[in-house]
Structure 1
């Protein structure tokens, strides 16, 4: 039986093997490869450590969106694969230095001629266009059933729906060559058909297409501009019972030439591009006075705009001060209508057009609201409801069904 090798002998053999491998490499390459290998493992360890100990963020100011949070493992979502999808989204959103790596990846991909990053197309005429979202069928079914149950519960209230088409739908000519998107018009028509005649569908798609050559969408952001919202209001006014001869003249005023939006941040494209922002203010002495109450923040103001946001990255938050769970807007208009708006951020620049015509507007964002909707309806004597979303956000919404009360009769 052979003698066992001593520790010194084993070390000597390892050195001999290492030397033999090094001798096979070009002269001087061994040390370089060793350094590169060590550097790789050091960086890998460093990135792992940073990501393990970094505190998760809830909101990205640069991208103006809520970030994915760590999902809870449950038998149901593990079995159907949802847990891994949610976990991958969580790790992507919470990766340390994410903004920097997005820009690096975009730069590298640009050299290869790629025209899409993180669901954003680098389109013609300087437009960044968010890809059309396709709904999760179960989530969409839950939301539509909740809306219909809500309508049945409050069948004496007028229910309006306005889904605003996204830029990739209206500005298809600006998509890069060979770009393929889902048919958003067909998706919206499906929703309209499913909701039925009990909901008053405010169709703004044709109007947006008629004005497609104007600046109705930002070039670096996923929102419509106030000009786009103004044209949509012309369609909505009649449907909402606001007579044309009773409308207050509005005038546009420039408030910034330094806006760079969320699509630029998400994709890494056109990060240096700056564009203009406008607000519309009523003209004339008969303009109603407005009081805006941010309910959860316990803050009141006499303006629908927050100019301090113009000093921040997310300048679109200047409209209504950004997104809030519940906002109560009162005016001294002669009309006695009280409107509930269930919305996403597209409504923020649309509300100034509505405010002069309602005694009160309650604004609920289902992404943040956790209150009692029935209590809200009853205590504020709501007379009509408007669901106002951009189509992409509506088709990704997972919160709406949980916010709406159900039942055929009010208690």
Structure 2
């Protein structure tokens, strides 16, 4: 083949590729969001002479091209698969791919000083609430990676239990009732449907087991509900959760479904009031049928991490009002503590700002307060325990 023909074929191939991509963009349109990456995608930049002169226009166009590249998610998944097969890679970002199908996010190591700062904030708020005649309880849930910490290899250790054991003795039971659910979860970890394979959260099954101890310790002498007071069913389309959004489904040997617990024999539905919206359920069932395989179906519990929500129980076992400070692990749990209180008020301090704690407690006539976090978020997210 002579040089002239070679150059001609090379140019033709290049032009064919460029026009093929251009045609694909015209047909497919612009994607707004990547569910896989949990972020908004760059959109076509607006032309202006100033943007061209500064170089911002070309930089924006480069981001647009990368984000809107045809079959971008498929290429990302293919790259992950190649890394696994060719390089034997089993750690992606901060997720370890265990041989039994669990995707496990590493829990970082935290210091004694870190634990002391958290404990001080918790003890201080418990002391303050005690002056208002409000009982404070704390539940720190060992998260999925901590429960399955023995699955991590020696070359990629996780430190969830270390941080958990460092914090627990620092809680002052003069002011805060420290409810330890760790042994319940450790002993039951091999039971079916306790934790998701591909998401970092727990299932309602595990949340209920923890709730049995929590509700008994917070309400001694009150009739305790059992698992038989709910029906249990795996529902919704299969999905790949938060851990799989880091590794892609290419490395997820198992998908997940959501365990739905439905309380029996209610005289009326629960009333949930959130951000100028009222609902008659503690579930958002539409989240379970979102066709996107990376959809966050865990948000079927409650809805999402709202700054504030209020729940009214139809058949409360007490006349008390409960205030919960929470992270997302509480979302699957709230349905099991709500029956014990007339009203449940829930705050997520990552999003609820300018809290006047004493005014809030007085406004809603709070009797009990529950601080409910998983053992990783309580370290990694200081806002959760910043009560002032």
TM-score by length of 2: 0.74
Aligned alpha-carbon RMSD (Å): 3.4
Q: Structure 2: how far apart are the matches of 1:66 and 1:380?
A: 37
Cα distance in 2 for residues equivalent to 1:357 and 1:261: 31
Give the CA deviation at 1:171. 2.1
2:156 maps to 1:180: yes
The CA deviation at 1:283 is 2.2
Q: Which residue number corresponds to residue 115 of structure 1?
A: 90
The residue number in structure 1 matching 2:77 is 103
> Is the contact between residue 95 and residue 105 of structure 2 (CA under 8 Å) also seen in structure 1?
yes
Q: Which residue of 1 aligns with 2:342?
A: 359
Deviation at 1:165, TM superposition (A): 1.0
Q: Which residue of 1 aligns with 2:187?
A: 210
Q: Please give the alpha-carbon distance, in whole angstroms, between the structure 1 residues aligned to 2:239 and 2:246.
A: 15
CA contact (8 A) 1:102 1:266 kept: no
Q: CA deviation at 1:151?
A: 1.6
Q: Does 1:282 align with 2:263?
A: yes
Kept in 2, the 8 Å contact 1:208–1:232? The answer is yes
Structure 2 counterpart of 1:409? none
Q: 1:243 to 1:352 in 2, by over 3 A?
A: farther
Gaps of 5+ in 1: 1-26, 43-53, 68-94, 406-411
- State the Cα distance separating 1:104 from its structure 2 match: 4.8
Query: Per-residue deviation at 1:190?
Result: 1.9
**How do residues 67-106 of structure 1 correspond to structure 2 at under 5 angstroms?**
96=67, 103-106=77-80
1:286-325 CA deviation, whole Å, 9 max, x = no partner? x56421000x3x0011100011112331111111011100
Match of 1:154, SS state, is helix
- Contact 1:166 1:390 (8 Å CA) reproduced: yes
Query: For 2:100, what is the secondary structure of its paired residue?
Result: helix
Aligned residues: 328
Shift of 1:136: 7.4
CA apart distance, 1:370: 1.2
Name 1:161's counterpart in structure 2: 138
Question: 1:222, CA displacement in angstroms?
Answer: 0.4
**Distance change in 2, residues 1:191/1:174 (3 Å):** closer
Range with greater deviation from structure 2 (238-247 or 362-371):
238-247
Q: Is residue 2:275 matched to residue 1:292? A: no
Structure 2 counterpart of 1:50 = none
Matched, 1:148 2:117: no
* Number of the residue aligned with 2:103: 128
SS at match of 1:163: strand
Matched residue, 1:386 = 370
Deviations 1:152-202 (A, max 9, x none): 211232211111112232224443x44432432231122122222222111
The within-5 A match list for 1:303-318 is: 303-312=281-290, 313-318=295-300
SS at match of 1:106: helix
Pick from 198, 215, 231 the counterpart of residue 251 of structure 1: 231
Q: Which has the larger radius of gyration?
A: 1
Mapped partners of 2:301, 2:191: distance in 1: 21
The change in CA–CA distance for 1:355 and 1:395 in structure 2 (over 3 A counts) is same
CA distance in structure 2 between the partners assigned to 1:213 and 1:174 by the alignment? 12
Match of 2:197 among 216, 219, 223: 219
Matches of 2:268 and 2:188, distance apart in 1: 30
